[in-house]
Structure 1
Amino acid sequence: MGNVIQKLKDNDIHIHQVLENAFSVMYGYTSDESGIRHGGIDFTNAPSEDAKYMLVTVQVL
């Protein structure tokens, strides 16, 4: 995620610091919480709406 944000900055695209932090934290969550982004087969506690939101949000970036 850091590389993506840096590329945006390098291309003079301004991202508010709070939004930048939010993207980084959400990306960290999807990487850390088993199954949200890495397809863990044992992860059954995430509501499908949460998984879909994280998938779409991270893919947009």
Structure 2
Amino acid sequence: MQNSNPYSGIQQHLKQALQLISDRQNPNYAKSMQESISAVEGLAMKLLNHDSITLGKAIPQLKNKYGLHQNLLASLEKLYAYTCDEDGVRHGSPNESTVTFSEAKFTLVACTNFINYLIDKTKDQN
């Protein structure tokens, strides 16, 4: 049976991020951040109909295609850059992650808000 929810993959990333951050026995904040930003990246892929684009390359295309405000998307770009720079979030690292609950929670909430914003702003154009 085919899933009729067009955002099921995005929802799955957010659900996983929430599970990872809220695990009382063994939370994984870095992986939660990765899942959060991956949800936004998945939505960007869907909106641009491009299954292999990274969020960094998608942001300018989203701006141009949907006329989204440059400074708002710049904040998403900075959040994405942060997750790429932070040890063990987007890329492997020989160092132990220093990501805290506060950073993981901020990323989860911010990514959820960006997703809601992008869905709302693009719904009439898809």
TM-score range, shorter chain: 0.5 to 0.7
Identity %: 36
RCO comparison, higher one (Cα < 8 Å, 6+): 2
- Assess, with a 3 A threshold, how the Cα gap between structure 1 residues 16 and 10 changes in structure 2: closer, same or farther: closer
Larger Rg: 2
Task: Verify: 1:28 aligned to 2:94, yes or no.
Answer: no
Q: How far off is 1:9 after superposition? A: 3.9
Query: Over aligned residues, Cα RMSD in angstroms?
Result: 3.1
Q: How far off is 1:51 after superposition? A: 2.4
**Greater helix fraction, Structure 1 or Structure 2:** 2
TM-score with structure 1 setting the length:
0.59
- Point out where structure 1 has 5 or more consecutive residues left out of the alignment: none
- Assess, with a 3 A threshold, how the Cα gap between structure 1 residues 39 and 49 changes in structure 2: closer, same or farther: farther
Q: How far off is 1:29 after superposition? A: 0.6
Partners of 1:52 and 1:36 in 2: CA distance: 14
Task: Verify: 1:42 aligned to 2:96, yes or no.
Answer: yes
Partners of 1:9 and 1:18 in 2: CA distance: 10
- Point out where structure 2 has 5 or more consecutive residues left out of the alignment: 1-54, 119-126
Contact 1:36 1:54 in 2 (8 A): no
TM-score with structure 2 setting the length:
0.35
